């Protein structure tokens, strides 16, 4: 499918991607005054259904990001969820999709500020492919770039301008021969990857930095903590992680909408554990995949189906 002919949602209407333009002076483009989401939809061939993973939670986070930027989202969370499933139906997607909602300051004028600037909103859905090979395991490095401090720009929100920080770290890592960057915060604690939250496993405890350590409040992160506790019966901890803990951890993995659960097998040239994907990472990754495909009934409430659910199934769910 040609990107230009994909139907997107823009300023309250469904239009062709190629007809949705922005001008050169657009505030968000010049000053990074926008916020966005990344949402995955999983096509389950056997169910004939496309499931969005934690759709409302993504739009709740977008609403919080917009508030930080003084953007007044006209659409409610329910409206945005409905537009997203409508996009799938209008485009007839029967493959995995990646959805990119974007709220941005749309004034075409010079002048950096947040207040009294009009805004615009779009949702674009495109067919998606795997970000990393989930079985390969990544080689990561500690970035020379620190994660933005909350008093510089709030990393907890998904703000477009902040992604310069991620891009600097990612390109440095790739150019130096690694697969991914791990950023420390201004205090030197482990924060997160360029676009993923980070977890370590030590002595059977699954540990991830707290949201007060300058990280994006990841939806996958939150979901995995719950899955660890309720399904794998593993103790979890949200606490600061020191850089050298990565070198001695039994397992390290990254988690996010795009990367799902991806093992890190090397950090700064030191093998993590035995230098291969660890058992907890593998178990969690497998379970996460099944959950996103709608195969685990206990977590079906995390999914939003895009196509009408057969009446027979609705009846069964109600009984
Ligand atoms: N951190 C950053 C900087 C990210 O861009 C992402 C991707 N949204 C994540 C963490 C993971 O967040 P989520 O699980 O909500 O996708």
Cβ atoms of residues 216 and 156 within 8 Å: yes
Ligand 1 close to Cβ of residue 192 (< 6 A): yes
- Residue 221 Cα: closest atom of ligand 1: 14
pLDDT band at 316 (very low <50, low <70, confident <90, very high): very low
For residue 38, the CA-to-ligand 1 centroid distance in Å is 8
- Given pLDDT bands bounded at 50, 70 and 90, which one contains residue 317? very low
For ligand 1, atom 4, the nearest C-alpha belongs to 195
Q: Choosing from 13, 21, 158, 170, which is the catalytic residue? A: 158
Q: Is 218 in the pocket of ligand 1 (CB under 6 A)?
A: yes
Q: Is the CB of 292 under 6 A from ligand 1?
A: no
Within the chain, where are the H helices? 27-31, 55-68, 77-91, 163-175, 219-230, 243-248, 279-292, 311-318
Domains of the chain with CATH codes: 3-127 (3.30.470.10), 138-292 (3.20.10.10)
CA 289 – CA 259 distance, rounded (Å): 11
Contacts with 267 (C-beta within 8 Å, 6 or more apart), sequence order: 140, 141, 142, 182, 246, 247, 252
Mutation probe of ligand 1 site: the residue of 52, 61, 196, 292 with most atoms within 8 A of C-beta: 196
**pLDDT (tens digit per residue) in 123-176:** 999 999 776 777 789 999 999 999 999 999 999 999 999 999 999 999 999 999
Is pLDDT above 60 for 311? no
105 flagged as catalytic: no
Q: What is the pLDDT of residues 31-84, one digit of tens each?
A: 999 999 999 999 999 999 999 999 999 999 999 999 999 999 999 999 999 999
């Amino acid at each position: 499918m040609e990107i230009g002919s994909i139907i997107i949602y823009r300023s309250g209407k469904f239009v062709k991607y190629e007809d949705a333009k922005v001008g050169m002076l657009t505030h968000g483009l010049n000053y990074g005054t926008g916020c966005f989401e990344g949402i995955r939809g999983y096509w389950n061939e056997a169910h004939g259904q496309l499931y969005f993973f934690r759709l409302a939670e993504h739009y709740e986070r977008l609403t919080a990001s917009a508030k930080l930027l003084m953007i007044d989202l006209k659409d409610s969370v329910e409206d945005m969820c409905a537009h997203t499933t409508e996009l799938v139906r209008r485009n007839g997607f029967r493959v995995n999709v990646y959805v990119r909602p974007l709220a941005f300051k749309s004034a075409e004028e010079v002048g950096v500020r947040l207040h009294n600037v009009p805004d615009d909103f779009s949702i674009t859905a495109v067919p998606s492919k795997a970000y990393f090979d989930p079985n390969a395991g990544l080689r990561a490095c500690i970035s020379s770039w620190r994660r933005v401090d909350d008093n510089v720009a709030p990393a907890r929100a998904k703000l477009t301008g902040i992604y310069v920080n991620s891009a600097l770290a990612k390109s440095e890592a790739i150019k130096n021969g690694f697969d991914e960057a791990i950023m420390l915060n201004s205090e030197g604690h482990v924060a997160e990857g360029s676009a993923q939250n980070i977890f370590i496993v030590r002595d059977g405890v699954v540990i991830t930095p707290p949201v007060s350590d300058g990280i994006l409040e990841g939806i996958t992160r939150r979901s995995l903590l719950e899955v660890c506790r309720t399904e794998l019966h593993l103790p979890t901890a949200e606490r600061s992680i020191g850089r050298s803990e990565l070198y001695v951890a039994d397992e390290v993995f990254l988690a996010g909408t795009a990367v799902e659960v991806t093992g890190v097998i090397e950090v700064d040239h030191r093998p993590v554990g035995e230098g291969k994907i660890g058992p907890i990472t593998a178990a969690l990754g497998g379970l996460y995949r099944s959950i996103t495909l709608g195969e685990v009934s206990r977590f079906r409430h995390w999914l939003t189906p895009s196509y009408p659910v057969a009446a027979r199934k609705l009846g069964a769910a109600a009984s």
